[in-house]
Structure 1
């Protein structure tokens, strides 16, 4: 049942105070972890994007994707997700095509609409323009990768009689994330797949496919899973509590889950887990939950887990990866 599903890792490359490492060694060690994870049996890796963050949250995921391609042989590489409205879609098309060529076609491009005012201000874009920026951006990406002249004119972008070369040999899938119903409908309508955060929106996505006259067999779900998987997951959560709280409170402060001025920050890790996206699983529960998820939603093609929480020591994340590789992955395949 689950043999056609990739199981992988999710990275934000955050390196916050008070745990901050030298960024050169930080990047080198994480690339080493990814190469080791491929040998352990993880078969995908996903990168996310933000800008102007004190902790260095990945500003350049496509650069890192190319570095991962050089360090791995078969691992699938993707973004979950890049902020398409902040980018020039032609430049994004060029960079993504280059990653696809460098990786032998192992790359897919996941994008979303973004939500941080700071980023939009700096890149000269308006939050209110996000829907048109995304839809026109996706159309330009597709035309750019065709090898034919783009010839696009819209509300936000105009691209003339230009060919964007080299074109990818294996065209990346364009995956679109979102949590609100209009964003999920857009993913079903214009993208090659849906990036689901924590399993949210799966039923909405299925309904949107059907309402557009598409088959559920046409669906494609890439699922970022927030489960913390360990032999004693409660003890694991308590041990890395500061890192979990840092992650969830940062997203709340940015407005990922609603207006930041209305949000309440967590000071207790188990409240954050109970009220947030996190789940605590041991191996048996992980196998049961993941098998059920894939049985209920056979369009799921990839499930990936946070490899490292912000500021967490590498050895700490490595222990969880080893546990998943030994106790979970073989039972899913």
Structure 2
């Protein structure tokens, strides 16, 4: 099982400069210890993830700070970009990194973000899927025709040329089951969250079958699963430490979703007390069943279960609201888990946790901010 680190800050009350220095410090540490990749997202106009308006810019800094890590966008919201601009920016990062770039594509959902290209909102999924082949072709050095001034058509070939002949591409999955089939048929990878163990197993099986039908090696595609991560020695101590940050993380997402509903003309009546209780329920569910939060033994059992259902990589979501010093101090424990799980897989076991037996099975909120 590959381990990577995923940044997706729930709040940016820290000084922005401190947060960027923190990200670079984490990158240096995991670069020297065998982690696979580092992921940074694209977010706009919200405190929720407001440190990340352009993953290409931050990835350029990561590219020259590291030597081994794959440098990945998790994700680029393609309807906010012209495909030519995407390829230009990431080709430059690919050169800076010596050929270590990967990009996950997303469609977006937050209406307030579509000030860039308002006309793309209604057809955001079609726009994204319609330009997958365009992005891949431009990356390979092929030219493509685009509308120019006064009704003209312009042939474009991008520069600089990247180091990699092919751009590793992911599609982000949140709720649409067709994403798995689309990714499989196109030979793409998938980045997802864990909403249900049974559903994840079914989706991965559907993905492998779609790859095989389309003539791709069914085993070659990478399924990356994002999970909240904090590894400690004592179960109760970990729960006490992560409980409030996870709740705040989830509550910030729900606030953003409510604001987005209001932009769209829909109003929800959830008051502060109800939102707090819902966040508590979701936090308990995350902790007990769908995270790498807990002791090394508990987290290792979760890793083996992911391996058993066919996942290839865990994107460890580490910046969900804990103090930055706590995250940095916890990296050796995460590395110990990574090294343990790099050994021969054990028999899968049910992860256990201190959350109540009645912990609910509420669906994971789609807090990646983008949806396909």
Change (3 A) 1:272 1:151: same
Q: Does 1:67 align with 2:61?
A: yes
* Higher mean C-alpha displacement, 175-184 vs 99-108: 175-184
CA displacement 1:103-125 (0-9 Å, x = unmatched): 11111001111110111245424
Corresponding residue SS for 1:9:
strand
Displacement, 1:166?
2.0
Contact 1:86/1:125 (<8 A) preserved:
no
Q: Does 1:110 align with 2:109?
A: no
Change (3 A) 1:174 1:161: same
Partner of 2:318: 307
Which sections of structure 2, spanning at least 5 residues, go unmatched? 343-372
CA distance in 1: counterparts of 2:257 and 2:279, whole angstroms: 19
Contact 1:108/1:173 (<8 A) preserved:
yes
**Where in structure 2 are the equivalents of 1:251-330 lying within 5 Å?**
251-255=253-257, 261=267, 265-267=275-277, 270-276=280-286, 277-278=290-291, 280-297=293-310, 300-310=311-321, 312-326=322-336, 328-330=337-339
Please, which of 13, 21, 24 is the counterpart of residue 31 of structure 1? Answer: 24
CA distance in 1: counterparts of 2:35 and 2:236, whole angstroms: 24
Corresponding residue SS for 1:223:
strand
**Where in structure 2 are the equivalents of 1:127-166 lying within 5 Å?**
127-151=121-145, 160-166=154-160
Corresponding residue SS for 1:317:
helix
CA displacement 1:174-215 (0-9 Å, x = unmatched): 100112212333222335211111366452242144256145
CA distance in 2: counterparts of 1:92 and 1:74, whole angstroms: 23
Corresponding residue SS for 1:273:
helix
CA distance in 1: counterparts of 2:328 and 2:153, whole angstroms: 46
Change (3 A) 1:320 1:233: farther
Corresponding residue SS for 1:161:
strand
Rg comparison, structure with higher value = 2
Please, which of 181, 188, 193 is the counterpart of residue 197 of structure 1? Answer: 193
* Higher mean C-alpha displacement, 260-269 vs 218-227: 260-269
Aligned length: 317
Displacement, 1:60?
1.1
Please, which of 99, 107, 118 is the counterpart of residue 93 of structure 2? Answer: 99
Which sections of structure 1, spanning at least 5 residues, go unmatched? none
CA distance in 2: counterparts of 1:218 and 1:159, whole angstroms: 38
CA distance in 1: counterparts of 2:146 and 2:18, whole angstroms: 43
CA distance in 1: counterparts of 2:142 and 2:31, whole angstroms: 36
Corresponding residue SS for 2:312:
strand
CA distance in 2: counterparts of 1:159 and 1:205, whole angstroms: 41
Partner of 1:181: 177
Change (3 A) 1:211 1:39: closer
Q: Does 1:220 align with 2:232?
A: no
Give me the TM-score of the superposition, normalised by structure 2.
0.76
**Where in structure 2 are the equivalents of 1:50-65 lying within 5 Å?**
50-54=43-47, 56-65=50-59
Change (3 A) 1:53 1:191: farther
RMSD over aligned CA atoms reads 2.8
Change (3 A) 1:267 1:232: farther
Corresponding residue SS for 2:297:
helix
CA distance in 2: counterparts of 1:8 and 1:203, whole angstroms: 24
Q: Does 1:84 align with 2:87?
A: no
CA distance in 1: counterparts of 2:75 and 2:250, whole angstroms: 17
